[in-house]
Copies of this chain bind each other. A is one copy, B any other.
Amino acid sequence: MKHISSRDNPFYKRLHRLIDGKRAGEAVLEGVHLCQEWLRHKGLPQAALFDSSKLASGGELAELARALPESSCISCEPALVRGLSQVGHGQGVYFLVGVPELSPPARIAENCLWLDRVQDPGNLGTLLRTAAAAGIAHAYLSTGCASAWAPKVLRSAQGAHFAMAVYEHLDLAQLRQRLDVPLLATALQGGEPLYDAVLPQRCAWLIGNEGQGVEPSLLDLADMRVFIPQEQGVESLNAAVAAAICLFEQRRRCI
């Protein structure tokens, strides 16, 4: 197995750049669970990098390595691997994977998630994870959302990306024309209480920016606005939590 012992190694530098910034077409997955999920849903990675010391001690890392062609596996000095980690105690495994840039379909007729400028990576990942658990397989992200394949988003989403089609950098107002199901927005004002609303079996759930909600001109394009009745005098729900309550209320009624 090829071994990396210098931080000047071109492959190591490439992983570093992918983790720090954004680059279309490729992503780095960190940790056993995400890598296992990739194998299960998507097949082989372009390459896999292992902490040489952790790999030598067997366990889950050795098992992952056995599932890959040896030519795609690279071992790496532990000190360098620590420089890649996004978490306190990384598990010592990274997959480099190709990420298809998807174009939205000509007509959108499934239950789906529309995200308008959701900026917090943790929120974005949680929204995708929740949508996947609710059986939603398509997410449409506006320009101004966090980058869907950034490490923090991947970590919060726990593999939801691999079970969904995630479309990015969209003009949602334009995309509205392709929508064959109602557009439902969560809003704090001017909406129907969620539990009184007649929810369609399939719709596009429109969730807005954490602080500002859905952009007003986009909100005007919604067919229905709903709000979640809550205790007075306290802060409203976090965007991902509000979305979860809506998606699972729809699922409760429709399944």
Report the minimum CB–CB distance from A252 to chain B (whole Å). 5
The reply to whether the CB of A197 lies closer than 8 angstroms to some CB of chain B is: no
Query: Nearest residue in B to A127 (C-beta to C-beta)?
Result: B241
CB within 8 A of A160: which of B160, B234, B245? B234
| Binary per-residue interface labels of chain A (143-172) against chain B in the complex, 1 for a CB within 8 Å, 0 otherwise | 000000000000010111001000000000
- Find chain B residues with CB under 8 A from A234 CB: 132-133, 159-160, 163
How many Å lie between the Cα of A241 and that of B241 in the bound state? 6
- Are B241 and A132 neighbours in the complex by a CB distance under 8 Å? no
- Find chain B residues with CB under 8 A from A237 CB: 129-130, 133, 244
- Are B195 and A231 neighbours in the complex by a CB distance under 8 Å? no
The reply to whether the CB of A142 lies closer than 8 angstroms to some CB of chain B is: no
Given contacts A195-B252, A245-B245, A245-B248, contact A133 B240 (CB under 8 A): no
The reply to whether the CB of A58 lies closer than 8 angstroms to some CB of chain B is: no
The reply to whether the CB of A198 lies closer than 8 angstroms to some CB of chain B is: no
Chain A, 217-255, CB within 8 A of any chain B CB: 228-231, 233-238, 240-241, 244-245, 248-249, 251-252, 255
The reply to whether the CB of A104 lies closer than 8 angstroms to some CB of chain B is: no
The reply to whether the CB of A126 lies closer than 8 angstroms to some CB of chain B is: yes
- Are B244 and A126 neighbours in the complex by a CB distance under 8 Å? no
Report the minimum CB–CB distance from A78 to chain B (whole Å). 23
Query: Nearest residue in B to A132 (C-beta to C-beta)?
Result: B234
- Are B241 and A126 neighbours in the complex by a CB distance under 8 Å? yes
- Are A231 and B126 neighbours in the complex by a CB distance under 8 Å? no
Most buried by B among A129, A158, A160, A248: A248
- Are B230 and A134 neighbours in the complex by a CB distance under 8 Å? yes
Instruction: Please name 26 pairs of A and B residues whose Cβ atoms are closer than 8 Å in the assembled complex, sorted by A.
Output: A122-B122, A126-B238, A126-B241, A129-B241, A130-B238, A132-B235, A133-B231, A133-B236, A133-B237, A134-B230, A134-B231, A135-B230, A135-B231, A156-B238, A158-B235, A159-B234, A163-B233, A195-B252, A229-B251, A237-B244, A240-B241, A241-B241, A241-B244, A244-B244, A244-B245, A245-B248
How many Å lie between the Cα of A236 and that of B249 in the bound state? 17
- Find chain B residues with CB under 8 A from A248 CB: 228, 245
- Find chain B residues with CB under 8 A from A229 CB: 251, 255
How many Å lie between the Cα of A134 and that of B129 in the bound state? 22
Query: Nearest residue in B to A238 (C-beta to C-beta)?
Result: B126
- Find chain B residues with CB under 8 A from A158 CB: 235
